[in-house]
Amino acid sequence: MARQSIFEASLDYFLAPIGEFLQDDNVTEIMVNGHQEIYVEKKGKLYETDAAFLSEDALQTAVHNIAQFVGREIDRERPILDARLPDGSRVHAVIPPSARNGTYLTIRKFKRDILGLEDYLRFGSLSEAAAEFINICTKLKKNMLISGGTGTGKTTLLNAVSSCIPAEERLVVIEDSSELKLAQPHSLYLESQQRDATGRGELTIRQLFKASLRMRPDRIIVGEVRSGEALDMVQSMISGHAGSMTTVHANSAHDALIRLETLSLMSDVQLPVYVARAQVASAIHLVIQITRFSEDGSRRITRITEVTGLDSDEQYTFHDLFENRMTGRDADGNLKMSLEMTGKTPSFAKEVEGHGLGHLVKTSRELWS
């Protein structure tokens, strides 16, 4: 029996208490808060379940089984594990004493289907004009930053936006734990590695980013910037890898740029703050903000913002091209809203005709005139 098959069989056994949730396509996340308390997320809402592991030892054994398969360690000295299941689902675990109430295990399930912008249209998360605008901006090779809070679906949206990239381009994807699944055939996936028990073998996002620059990429896609690799990403956007994309944890376009600036300053390159800020302002063209609404669990794109540089006080300047407008609730109590044009036009409006993309303009014509 192949190693993969052995792992899958053992995983089915050790994770049997949550097996039904792993198989349920409506469940997007499973949260184990100690062996007797298990929550799941369905359609953006959290629900407590009656499921439980037999004991704390049974739960820890399941976590160690996952760690063993991916070649990582989790113990008192390294109490945190980031890994993935055979189907690509992302696993995060924390064990005592760092976890006070027993072992914490969170599984974000892998989406088997590759979502495109048309799916966001169907869900009501995107308007036709906004989808067309994103598609055109992708082909114009505008650098995009997808911003949102935890669990808002930033990675899923990044995957959908990337589906607009022409199939003939060579893409390099860099992630902590591999989640993205691009539609383009010429896509290379790089994944960071933790150090082993002897302290060797670590491979950081930043090291992978530097390696990717020697792989002749047309675009670089980073699942999420979290540290000093932000500076490498920003500088590559400025110096020739246009059309790159990444995500960041933030609740607004302004906060997203500040976050990216702060992360850039965490690199080992000593930069004055104003230099880091100027580079971020020059590198990022668009910020796409996604939000999860707790009232009905929906995830929606709430703003598409163009970054226009810095003002005389060296503060970021930008304007919203699309904004979400609330129109009420439907018969089921779900929020009704639409993403509409603000009346502003992008500074690069004339590039559409210059790049021969005029034939793509239909519902968003107001933006390009």
How does 169-182 read in b/e, with b if 16+ C-beta sit within 10 Å? Answer: eebbbbbbbbbbbb
pLDDT in tens, 154-163: 989 999 999 9
pLDDT value, residue 328: 75
Cβ 330 vs Cβ 336: under 8 Å: yes
Confidence at residue 3, expressed as pLDDT on a 0 to 100 scale: 64
SS3 category, 47? strand
Supply angle C-alpha 54, 59, 63, rounded to 5: 160
339-349: pLDDT as tens digits: 999 999 999 99
CATH label of the domain that carries residue 8: 3.30.450.90
> What mean pLDDT comes out for the span 294-302?
83
Question: Does 258 score more than 80 pLDDT?
Answer: yes
Helix H or strand E segment including 340: strand 335-341
Q: Contact at 8 Å (CB) between 48 and 57?
A: no
| DSSP, res 295 | T
Quick check: 296 pLDDT over 80? no
Q: Which of 84, 87, 66, 80 is nearest to 14 (CA)?
A: 66
For residues 294-318, give the mean pLDDT: 91
The domain boundary residue, chosen from 57, 80, 108: 108
Mean pLDDT of 1-21: 82
Backbone dihedral angles phi then psi of residue 302, each to the nearest 5 degrees: -105, -20
- 73 with 144, same domain: the answer is no
Tell me the helices (H) and strands (E) count for the chain, helix number first.
Answer: 12, 15
Query: How many domains is the chain partitioned into structurally?
Result: 2
Q: Which residue's structure tokens are 């603000």?
A: 342
Q: What is the pLDDT of residue 183?
A: 85
Domain that includes residue 80, residue range: 3-108
Instruction: Give the CA-trace dihedral at 69, 70, 76, 82, to 10 degrees.
Output: -130
Residues 76 and 130 occupy one common structural domain: no
* Shared-domain flag, residues 45 and 151: no
User: For 34-74, how does the pLDDT look when each residue is reduced to its tens digit (9 = 90+)?
Assistant: 999 999 999 888 999 999 999 999 999 999 999 988 778 89
Q: What is the pLDDT of residue 199?
A: 67
Q: How many CB atoms lie within 10 A of CB 73?
A: 14
**Encoded amino acid at 312, one letter:** S
User: What is residue 282's three-state secondary structure?
Assistant: helix
Question: What percentage of the chain reaches a pLDDT higher than 90?
Answer: 61
| Structure confidence at residue 197 (pLDDT) | 63
Is residue 106 very low, low, confident or very high in pLDDT (cuts 50, 70, 90)?
Answer: very high
Number of CB atoms found within 10 A of residue 107's CB: 24
pLDDT of residue 268: 82
pLDDT for the residue 11: 85
The pLDDT of residue 161 is 95
Structure letter (DSSP) for residue 204: -
Q: End of a domain among 63, 81, 108?
A: 108
pLDDT for residue 57:
95
Angle formed by the axes of helices 205-212 and 229-238, nearest 10°: 20
| pLDDT confidence tier of residue 271, bands split at 50, 70 and 90 | confident
Q: Both 334 and 221 in a single domain?
A: yes
Vertex 226: Cα angle to 293 and 204 (nearest 5): 140
Domain match, 213 and 332 both: yes
32 and 51 housed in the same domain: yes
Task: Report how far residue 365's alpha carbon sits from residue 369's, in angstroms, rounded to the nearest whole number.
Answer: 6
| pLDDT computed for residue 209 by the predictor | 86
301 within 8 A of 130, measured Cβ to Cβ: yes
Residue 93 has pLDDT above 60, yes or no: yes
**Same domain, residue pair 77 and 173:** no
For residues 226 and 296, membership in a common domain is answered with: yes
- From 55, 84, 108, give the residue that closes a domain: 108
In this model, does residue 194 exceed pLDDT 70? yes
Position 124 scores a pLDDT of 83
162 and 91 together in one domain: no
CATH (domain of 146): 3.40.50.300
My answer on whether 88 and 136 are in the same domain is no
Phi, psi dihedrals of residue 127, rounded to the nearest 5° = -90, 165
- Is residue 66 domain-shared with residue 155, that is, in the same domain? no
Q: How far is CA 191 from CA 64, 70, 110, 178, 207, in A?
A: 21, 12, 16, 6, 11
Phi first, then psi: what are they for 181, rounded to 5°? -140, 95
Per-residue pLDDT at 132: 97
What are the backbone dihedrals phi and psi of residue 92, each rounded to the nearest 5 degrees, phi first?
Answer: -130, 125
Q: Are residues 211 and 236 in the same domain?
A: yes
